[in-house]
Structure 1
Amino acid sequence: MTAPPSAVQPPEAPSWHLPGPLVLRMMAVAVCAVLLAGVGAAWHVSQVSSQEAVRRVVAQQTDEVEVIARLLASKIEQSQKVLRTVAAGIAPRMLEPANAPEALPYQSLPALGFFDAVQIAGSDGELRLNLRGGHAVPPASLEPAERDVLRRTLADGKPQVSELIAGGTGDARIAFTMPLHREDGAVLGALAGALKLQSQGLLPPSMALPERDESRLVVFSRDGTILAHSDPTRVLGNVRDEAGLSDVYARWLQQAQPLVGRGATQVLPEHIVSMAGMPLPQWMVARVSHSRALLAPLAGAQRDAWWVLAGAIGAGVLALLGLLGWMAQPLAHLRLAAQQLLRHDTKAPRLWPQAGGEVGDVVQVLERLARQGSHHAALQTTLGGQFQAILDHASVGIVITRHGMLEVVGRQTCLMLGYTPKELQGKPARTIYASAEDYARTGARVQAEFAVHGAFDGDVCFMRKDGSPVWARVQGRGVRADAMDGGTVWILEDITAVRQAQQQQTWEASHDALTQLYNRTAFDQRLGALLAERSTRVRDDGAPAQAGALAEGVVLFMDLDHFTVVNDLAGHDAGDDALRHVARLLESQVRQMGWAARVGGDQFAVVLPGCALARGQAVAEQLRQAVQAWAPSYQGSSFTLSMSIGLVALDASMPDVAAVLYAADMACYDAKRAGRNRVETGRAREMPASGRMALGSA
């Protein structure tokens, strides 16, 4: 015997496989996502840090200008207090015209040396004293601006702060005035004290601080004259020449905003400008900073951080690629096994990965989706069968149309028209009309009804297969209320016999020509017959009728609220259309349990025989809500109608038609008085010998 040949061992599969194209694309997407996320996060941090730095600069500058504005305001208040002290030492005799300036004892005035110049004027506007540098000078040397502020003080009787009194940089000054009053309050004269612009009591040169390349402090008046500046050469210049500040100042002037002490900051592309005002002297303090220079240290730190981040992202991407390659090995094995299976390799099934993870999850998900698909198919079959059962057994005709085509046709519709379902399914709707003119005329009518009411409810004449006409009451609504292209559902009810009855003279005598409801005469007759039947039944039973006996029905009397608005604004044709629609609505709601009638211009009545009071109240409320929810549109205007309803129960307290109608009418009248658009339940009332009669009749 020879030894059997040894079995050939298949080569071992390598432990690492290159992922397939899908996984490689996913890895590329992951790397791109990491790069985008890292760059996006770094950019966001950079933006946030820049915004935070700007926010801190804004807060710091705003606080700074507010503090400086308050400091200057306190200096001005101190100057006014000193001036008030000087004013307190001036006696009325010092203001008499006979006293020459050199004769006034001004040396005795307190705190006089605080001011660089002092003037005292009498009530006639003439100077009594003019001191400059502690020495009396002629009145003619007084500047016009100083004389003007003294006159305004005499005229207004209030302290004043002058505008800048021009001169050289060293001679520019501000004048403060104080009115002098007699004991009776009359203005006796005016006192003025002037301080040089750059004096210690006002704007000393040290206040502006040394000039910095990235920032400058500016104090200026309302007219833009610079009063203090980090660069002394800019004093008495104009802020319109200041970079950054000129634009903010121009916008402030354009908006005509009042000066307030609260600081405000505006961030411009190249500058950060903070301003705070001093209301009394009408000055403003501004800090103007170059944003790039302020944020230069931050920009350098951000550049260094970008390089560090780039290195970190690169290392992270390499680590991510290795991790994703290792995690994708089950899918790589799955791909290799599938390729072996396609080559009809019988050993291929041994290479299917024995692992869970996404491979096992995908298999489970696919199995679950297959089961769900089978369930949905069975459910669709069930729903289709139920829908077909409705089409086959409904007592009314059902049709669904879309884009002028008959998509679904019920069995009752086919019987009504004399066709088989296959003869109508998928055919144009024009097929069931006598002519193209009838089809176009009905289409225009349908479009008009949908435009006004959002639905269609009317009588339409169709043509049977044998050419004979058939009348149907047609009700149509969109499958989707928000889009007519979703199709329209139509309900058809054969009323050919009713239409034939309408041709008879007796029908016209008992029905309203406009609404096709019973008229007032027929309403009285039918209600009288109902009451007579009840009386006969009670008499045959042998039991006397009692007022508290159980009601055998209800009567509703309805009056449209503000109906004349439709007639007045849209015309009587629109009013007639609204009455027809309300009549259709009432008839469709109550025809299974009672009947409706039109008893007046915009008045309707409904009788519900055998209806309990609670049920009648529910039906009345349902009718009220249906009318209120209807919003017709005529001549481009929308209207909202409502209905006041009076309800009475047909019990023993209502012996005849007159009593019922009077009680129902008075209940409706109560609903009108209570605010309209409501339901009121009435009771039996004695009819007056004269006055308001039932149903608004004379």
Structure 2
Amino acid sequence: MTPPDQATALRGRLFVQQQAPGTAAARPAAGTPTTAPAPGLPPAPGTPGAQSIEHEREGDLSGWLPGPLVRKLLLVTALAVLAAGALAGWLVGRATAQDAMQRLLVQQGDEVELVARLLASKIEQSQKVLATVAEGITPQMLESPASLEWLLQQGLPAVRFFDAMQVARKDGQLSVNLRYGQLEQASELEPAERDQLRRTLVDGKPLVSELMGASAQEARVMFTQPLLRGEGRVIGALAGALRLQSQGLLPHSLALPARPESRLVVFTREGVILSHPDAARVLGHVRDEPGLAEAYERWRSRGKPLTASEDMTELYSGHVVSLASVPMPGWMVARVSEAGALLAPVQGAQRRAWRLAAGATLATCALALLAMVWLARPLAHLRRRARWLLDSEGLAVAGPRAGWPGWPRSPGEVDDVVRICTRLLEHRRLQQQDSQALMRQLQAVLAHVPLGIAVTCAERVEVVSLQACRLLDYTPAELHGRDLLDLLAPASGETDRMARHVRTQFAAHGVFDGELPLLRRDGGVQWVRAQGQPIHASNPQAGTVWMLEDCTAVRDARQQPAWRGEHDELTLLPHRAAFEQRLQALLASRAARPQPALPGAPVQAPVLYGEEGSGVLMFLDLDHFAVVNDLAGHAAGDDVLRHLARLLESEVRQMGWAARLGGDEFAVVLPGATTARGQAVAEQLRAAVQAWEPSYGGRSFTLGLSIGLVPLPTGLRDVAPLLHAADMACYAAKRAGRNRVEVRRVMP
């Protein structure tokens, strides 16, 4: 709980203790003689004054009836509820119809975009499988068709993913033509397939062909991959073909669920239908599809294709059509729905809303009147009780007449409530005194916290710890109310740039974690590591909690050539070579460490390599990082890597260390952690990255973390097998769906 929350909670508890009736503090102890009631309070039950009040309550029924002000409020309330109900019914009905229609359109657009992404993922997966096969083909195999045929038929399981596969040499000669697991002659290869192989040999990059085949059963798509060796030299080409309606491409289940008022259609940029709920329409043209024909012509007239993150939902001839693009093959996914069928539930809901609004308005009006009559009973009671209090001896002595200037006068309930308010003001004064005492206690707590803490609201310091004051050589009074960013030291006139950097980091990541130069009172510059986080993530305007640590020694260490030679310039983490050297030293010290033995116990055999000890190694790969680079630019990608480095460093610096291995790959070592503890830390890191949504240019990005975890085996001295096992575990996490933790062990 933050300091302001603590003060609020304590203040609330104190208020409850003062106000709660029937508490131990309010009840006299057993045997204590009763005394007269305090001035301004009614007599205790059973006293003569109380009996007279009860008698008056029973005999004077007028005390139970509402006063003139309450009767006027009842009339105004009835009129207001009826008018508000009529207006609310109209507004709600209209807004409900618009909102429901908009949600239906967004839902249909999201569905189409999801299918487009699924198809793009299938295309990407097919290319990856083909690339895996290409990696297993050597230049010698191209010259030996027999070995190449054996490799494709038995050596590589990935070959079975494709319906057909061909391998061509650089000179264009076909080495292998494998179709449905059977070898065929090179002459049986179609011209379109030969042309696709030649384009791959010339361009030297992967390609996805146009649709091949004259019938739905023969329709297929060809994927090609160049065989590269040396410095990007093309030595051949590999092709794999998938039937159009195979499970790896467009199965029949893609069009499900089938709805009579809606159709899901996949077609090429030329308008040829690839997938349709009606199998007879496959390889037909979208110009024959109602509603979709106009959308297709509109899309063609734009002159530019849809991007991967763009969808188009519009109304055409009584049909709602949503389009999304599958980038690599240039296909389009469309959902065509009848507008009348979509609007029917909305119109029905609108009629039901009108009926419900009318019934609810009448019921609310009746309940409001009854509730006001019921709520007015305590007010009438208070009026009677206040009249009796004015005639009591206690109020006669203190006399409300002595201090009345400034209060409004109005006959009836208001005049009586004003007199009670004078008592409430006294209670308020006591509560303010208690609040001030609580704030003094809070300041006493902050004075002993061994950490620089500051709480800001609208960037101005509200609460500050004594350690933060010592860090900057200010008193708490001097820092209170100061703009925290005004304390930035003017380093070469870059104060405004640093202030913009702080605000940019909050806008991008929701938090700030970095080093700032602050100006001490004596004019010196104090470098601190500042970590700022909103008190309430959902309401950044509620304030920010800052933790400040002196980082002068860390910055001085960075100026040393030895430090710069061992750390990555972008993330300030150790680079791969330094990381491997440190890990090597850890393994050597663990291998040389003698095993403890109990006195008198027999001598045990030495621990063999492969037995699990304490400590774990994590290999981390940032998921979807390429999307940030592609859409937001490399500067945003560098900022993501820097923020991830600070996040890893903050999470593990008390139990291990982190390093950047290259690109978006990082490593973490926890020397003393068990495997279970390592998995828990890995899950914490993964969850932290998943919850972090950086924002650049008004667009948020969702990231993930694939983690491969390997326990450190006892007796191992070589770093290479350990890193390889962690890398393979990370690769397994990637293949299993990304954003997960996979555990592997080093095999002896």
TM-score scaled by structure 1? 0.48
Q: Which of the two has higher C-alpha Rg?
A: 1
Q: Which has the higher contact order (CA 8 A, sep 6+)?
A: 2
